[in-house]
Structure 1
Amino acid sequence: MVDVRASKAAPFYLIFILQFVGIATQNCPSPCFCKGHFEVYCNNTGISEIPKGIPKETTVLDLGGNKIKKIPYGILNGLLNLTFIGLEQLGFTGNEIEAGALNLPNLTEVDLSFNRYMMVPPNLPKAMSRMYFFYNPIEVLDARSFNDYPSLEYFDMSNCHITHIKPNTFDALVNVNTMHIAFTKLTNAGVPDGVFAKNTKLDYLNLRFNHLNGLLKGLPSSLENIDYVGNPIKEIPSNAFEDLPHLKTLGFWNSALSKIDDNAFAGLVNLTILDFMSAAITSPVTNNTFSGLPSLQTLYLDDNHVPSIDIGALRDLKSLTSLWLSGNNLSTLDEEVLDTKYIPNLNTLFIDFNPWYCDCDLRWLREKVGNASYVIQDPHLIVCHGPEKVAGKPWDELKPEDFVCN
């Protein structure tokens, strides 16, 4: 049965929607694109000045990729609801934003990416909490960079040319929780010990693909996530993270790391992810390499050069669920290494692309394929390198009884 009331109401609602769309389109300054009354996108439209008639209700305004030469004082007056402004890819170098031009009560996010700044510019909003600054040629950060922006909680300065961070640079950032300083040119000599010490709310520090050859010192104990990915760090010494008890994730993949000292991760009782994929680890995994990690759930050791794993090496990893050992130099493995009495939560194991010597000492592991509490992934990629009788054959073509000793 057709609901007559609904069918009669439908045209009214349609007219209302069309009127709303018409109003939004009518109020949108040319040549911009508007999304409702609240978002105005003028980016890459070829304009040379900020258009007039921006709706007062606007919360998002993107002016990027144009020929705008300056942001004059007063030009944005009346945009009391504005929370985000995009000033990316304008060719700005320093003083194009006039004093007070961005002093709007709710403006907290500013995108200055893809400009030509050699310094963090003045005259940004005092209440700014998020700043996007990637792809600028800035080389040095100092205290003047952030002193005027104590409300900053998040910034991204990735893909800049940063070589040095001066002492006290971040002291004013008492509220910052996320810093991205990735794909820059930082070395250990360019980062003074303790430069992050006063950032006691810092949660995530992204330093990937810099030129650091050692761990930074004097980091705040609040850190939960550190990304050292792609740095030429060669060794992790014992007790390296003893002052960072809240760490949950730690990344070193695609690094030059070759050695992990015993008890390197002592005290990291909250760590859940440890990533060494595609590093250069050549040292054996000993009984103390991963000691003190009761919360660790995922361990990436794939694509390294690990030659062996001691019998008790995983016994502290009570929470381990996923173990990646692919692409190492493992030829054999003792059954006690994977004793589920110690690692009861293990559910996924990767062991392909190792030079396995498939004799009777490794038969137990072949028996686990399809017959264990955990899954051994990709048996068709697990290939025997010896003895001669089975060399070159994948495990999905072999049976446990094929693993024999002469």
Structure 2
Amino acid sequence: MNDSFNSKVKTQRSVSMSTLLLIVCGVWWTVTVDSQSCPSPCYCRPPGQVFCNGTGISEIPDNIPTDTKILYIGDNPIHEIKKGSLLKLVNLNALDASGARLKEGSIEPGALDLPSLTDVDLSMTDYTTIPKVLPKIMDTFRMMQGNLKTIQSDSFNLYPKIVYLDLSNNEISKIQPGAFDPLVAMTTLYIGFNKLTDASVPWPPNAFSKCRSINSIDFRFNQMQSILNDIPTCIQHLCYVGNQIKTLPSFGFKDLVNLQTLAFWQGQVETIEDNAFHGLDKLTLLDFMQDHIKSTLTNNTFVGLSSVDTLYLDLNNISHIEPGALYPLKSMGSLWLQSNQLSTLKPEVLDTSHLTKLNTLFIDSNPWNCDCNLRWLREKMDHAPYVIQDPHLIVCSGPPKVAGKAWDELKPSDFVCNEE
């Protein structure tokens, strides 16, 4: 028995050693090939990705594989890109130089004129203007977290093929007339976290009149106090998150007939005028989370929003909703009303004969007066076609008998008035 056991152990050990040898040989072979094709101290990964970022290099290695498609050289003390340093990289599609020590004059003319280079990232560099030495065929350009202060009239004259442009987290306070005119192919513009005010964008003339392909503009966390009147009608996604806009005027978006999402969260919106959203029949998402809305939601507040699926009104100061205010929202499935100043609601507000798609309702963290006038809503928690979320967080502020109690511990019969 021992001989059989020992023989079995020897066989297993032999197999294990053979497997280990194969593994070691495999690792050795891989390392050898990588060390031959990948410049030190960079790391290469198929297909065609070369990572030299954060390696401490001060210049671009001269033996980068010729089949490289994506090259990362950022977060290094690289002060210049010479004309011949990338010459052999005819397959290079994307260059990420974010965090390199580049500034005006750092890139020699012609250095980036490569036949396939369409994506360039110069974020976190020291440029104060858009360089004139970028690839003419470039369709994607990022210059985030930089020192841009002004978008000049000729900033993009050489780059009409840009489709995606991200200039967020700069110091931009001025956009000169005609700055975006060359960008006839641009679909996406991120220009948030800057210092744009109402006076920053030239109007008239229309700052985006030549941007015939634009479908998304993100102005988040600037200092704008009013909505722009010259947004192209082809726009589908518009973001004013974190700005200083206090009033949305009547018919303010009437020409944006293709708009699908509109966001104002963490802003200063206090008043939504009647018919503010007239014309937005394709809008599916409207977000006012954590604003300061205190105006009454009237029967004309949401006129035109027949396609909205999700409406965020949480973390505001809404205290009154007229019975028919939500009826235009025929497609609404999710309604967020938590953390407002609502103390009661009339049954007509949530009439499911009008709100046929409603499936989720958030109403917690309001000062609810849980008397007989609100009993209907507590009853809905048990048998409505929609779900009232987080009943343990829906707490009564009054009357005294139920004050401080959550709806999951109360029954509809607990919602009484004094005369009952």
Q: TM-score, normalised by structure 1?
A: 0.95
Q: CA deviation at 1:65?
A: 1.3
- Percent identity at matched positions? 50
Q: Is the 8 A contact 2:97 2:122 kept in 1?
A: yes
Q: CA deviation at 1:304?
A: 0.4
Indicate which of 190, 213, 228 corresponds to 2:225.
213
| Runs of 5+ unmatched residues, structure 2 | 1-20
Q: Is the 8 A contact 1:95 1:122 kept in 2?
A: no
Question: What are the Cα deviations for residues 245-279 of structure 1, in whole angstroms up to 9, with x where unaligned?
Answer: 01000000111100000000001000000000000
Matched residue, 1:331: 343
SS in 2 for 1:370: helix
Matched residue, 2:285: 273
Q: CA deviation at 1:13?
A: 12
Matched residue, 2:11: none
SS in 2 for 1:349: strand
Distance (Å, rounded) in 2 between the aligned partners of 1:70 and 1:109: 19
Q: Where do 4+ consecutive residues of structure 1 move more than 6 Å?
A: 11-18
Matched residue, 1:401: 413
Q: Is the 8 A contact 1:37 1:55 kept in 2?
A: no
Whether 1:173 and 2:183 are equivalent positions in the alignment is yes
Distance (Å, rounded) in 2 between the aligned partners of 1:104 and 1:13: 40
SS in 1 for 2:50: strand
Indicate which of 268, 273, 285 corresponds to 1:256.
268
**Aligned counterparts, 1:71-150, within 5 A:** 71-150=81-160
Indicate which of 210, 214, 231 corresponds to 2:243.
231
SS in 2 for 1:34: strand
Q: Is the 8 A contact 1:252 1:275 kept in 2?
A: yes
Matched residue, 1:192: 202
- The Cα RMSD (Å) is 1.9
Counterpart AA for 1:268: L
Indicate which of 241, 249, 256 corresponds to 1:244.
256
Whether 1:306 and 2:346 are equivalent positions in the alignment is no
Question: What are the Cα deviations for residues 296-317 of structure 1, in whole angstroms up to 9, with x where unaligned?
Answer: 0000000100111111111111
Distance (Å, rounded) in 2 between the aligned partners of 1:244 and 1:37: 42
| Runs of 5+ unmatched residues, structure 1 | 1-10
Matched residue, 1:24: 34
Distance (Å, rounded) in 1 between the aligned partners of 2:66 and 2:174: 42
Distance (Å, rounded) in 1 between the aligned partners of 2:228 and 2:58: 45
Counterpart AA for 1:171: D
Matched residue, 2:51: 41
Matched residue, 1:183: 193
Distance (Å, rounded) in 2 between the aligned partners of 1:14 and 1:310: 74
Q: Is the 8 A contact 2:339 2:363 kept in 1?
A: yes
Q: Which has the larger radius of gyration?
A: 2
Matched residue, 2:295: 283
Matched residue, 1:7: none
Q: Is the 8 A contact 1:21 1:36 kept in 2?
A: no
Matched residue, 2:380: 368
Whether 1:153 and 2:166 are equivalent positions in the alignment is no
